[in-house]
Amino acid sequence: MHRIPIQSLPDVVNQEILRNMTPSEIYLASMTSKKTKKLIKRNIYKVDEVGVEISRQDYGIRAAVYIKIEKKICYVVCLEFRIRPLRRVDNGYQLLENIVAIPSIVPNHCNMPAIRRQIHSIHSYVCDVFNIDTSNLSVRFPSDIYYEFFDIGTVKKCTVPDELLESEFSMKLFNQQKNMNLLIVERSRGIVDCGYVYFYQHVPTVIHRNTQNRSSFLLTRFQGQHGLFKNCFLHGFYVNVLLRLWSENEMDNLVSMIAYQSVNRPFDYEKVIEVLEDKMGKSEGNCLNALQVEKPSEKRIYSYESLITQEHHFKPDTFDCDGGYDVVRNSDGKRATIKISKDYFMFFVWP
């Protein structure tokens, strides 16, 4: 077998070599020398995210560092923390299913400060190799919430299945990670109760892919800036409550909310339109006394600026506000546009 002198190859060739290597192979290659790591950093392809996934395994807990490229997750390196001791401990690196398994510096998951330091160190190294800001820590909890694996205030993005929002560990996670700016709630296969929105209602940006009955709570208690809620059980009553609360400055952080109705549930959106049309008729007994309602004739496109665009592909006409209702707050003249149909409710606040 002949050695390939990659240091002497042109960058365009090295870029093609890296594209044909797995992330784990790139990780291992970067550790061979400082020159190789520098070459990799100069020629590596663009990744969107470097994060840590903590999952339960038969033998214990696995912490895996992954990269994300165009919504595809590729694992790079993992640490394994044993709950049950093994008869033989392997202190060497292993390549398992295209992921490098590194022996933990602690044999079990009891020494949390040491575990946090090792996870942080490996995450920072992978971020450096793939040219990602290490402070933008993303975490995933597919099976259980292991909030204790991360230092307080370090998690910026978190992905959990909806069934885990019921646990006491969910409350502890959100209490410790006050700097979280994006929460993604994935749809699980199990049966999910309504749950408590209070744990995460202040996260600035929330994507909930299986909102169901939680839509009523989120419509009236969400204190973040941007929300995308899918598979909702929307009710006209709660939409009207949202409009009243916003008109009275009770939901002043809100910038945008997009809620898609479940295909299996009817949405009495006509009740919302009835209230809006009634207010346009200058009715004095309307529940939206703190608002003025208009229906502008000019064509307008809302400039949507949110982290949600990195996680969800919107249809081209989503932000076309032509034909929508405008509500203007009497207290400060703030304007928002409402788009509503049997399939969705959208609320966009104009700058």
Q: Convert the pLDDT of each residue in 165-175 to its tens digit.
A: 878 898 899 99
* Three-class secondary structure of residue 101 per DSSP: strand
CB atoms within 10 A of CB 260: 19
CATH number of the domain encompassing residue 11? 1.20.1280
| For residues 1-13, average pLDDT | 77
Structure tokens at 56: 């339960």
293 domain-assigned: no
| For residues 333-347, average pLDDT | 97
Number of domains observed in the structure of the chain: 1
Quote the percentage of the chain above a pLDDT of 90: 68
Element (H, E) at 155: strand 155-161
**pLDDT computed for residue 197 by the predictor:** 59
36 domain-assigned: yes
Apex CA 112: angle with CA 109 and CA 114, to 5°? Answer: 100
247 domain-assigned: no
Task: Tell whether the torsion through CA atoms of 216, 218, 221 and 225 is positive or negative.
Answer: negative
Is the pLDDT at 128 greater than 80? The verdict is yes
Structural domain range at position 24: 1-44
Cα separation of 194 and 211, whole Å? 9
Buried b (16+ CB within 10 A) or exposed e, 172-203: ebbebbeebbbbbbbebeeebeebebebbbeb
pLDDT-based confidence at 97, cuts 50/70/90? low
Distance of CA 351 to the CA centre of its chain: 24
pLDDT-based confidence at 89, cuts 50/70/90? very low
13 domain-assigned: yes
> What is the residue whose two structure tokens read 């952080």?
253
- Closest of 237, 330, 241 to residue 291, by C-alpha: 330
Question: Under the phi-then-psi rule, with left for phi > 0, alpha for psi from -120 to 50, and beta for the rest, what region is 72?
Answer: beta
**pLDDT computed for residue 284 by the predictor:** 60
pLDDT-based confidence at 99, cuts 50/70/90? confident
**pLDDT computed for residue 87 by the predictor:** 41
DSSP per position, 1-43: -PPP-GGGS-HHHHHHHHHTS-HHHHHHHHTS-HHHHHHHHHH
| For residues 10-29, average pLDDT | 93
29 domain-assigned: yes
Cα separation of 208 and 214, whole Å? 9
Is the pLDDT at 185 greater than 80? The verdict is yes
Is the pLDDT at 188 greater than 60? The verdict is yes
Cα separation of 270 and 289, whole Å? 19
4 domain-assigned: yes
28 domain-assigned: yes
Structure tokens at 347: 């609320």
| Structural contact between residues 61 and 75, judged by C-beta atoms closer than 8 angstroms | no
pLDDT-based confidence at 178, cuts 50/70/90? very high
Cα separation of 61 and 64, whole Å? 10
Q: How far apart are the first and last CA of the chain?
A: 63
Structure tokens at 2: 């002949």
Element (H, E) at 271: helix 270-280
Distances (CA, A) of 7 to 4, 10, 11, 44, 46: 9, 8, 9, 14, 21
3 domain-assigned: yes
Work out the burial of residue 97: count CB atoms within 10 Å of its CB; fewer than 13 is exposed, 13-18 middle, 19 or more buried. Answer: exposed
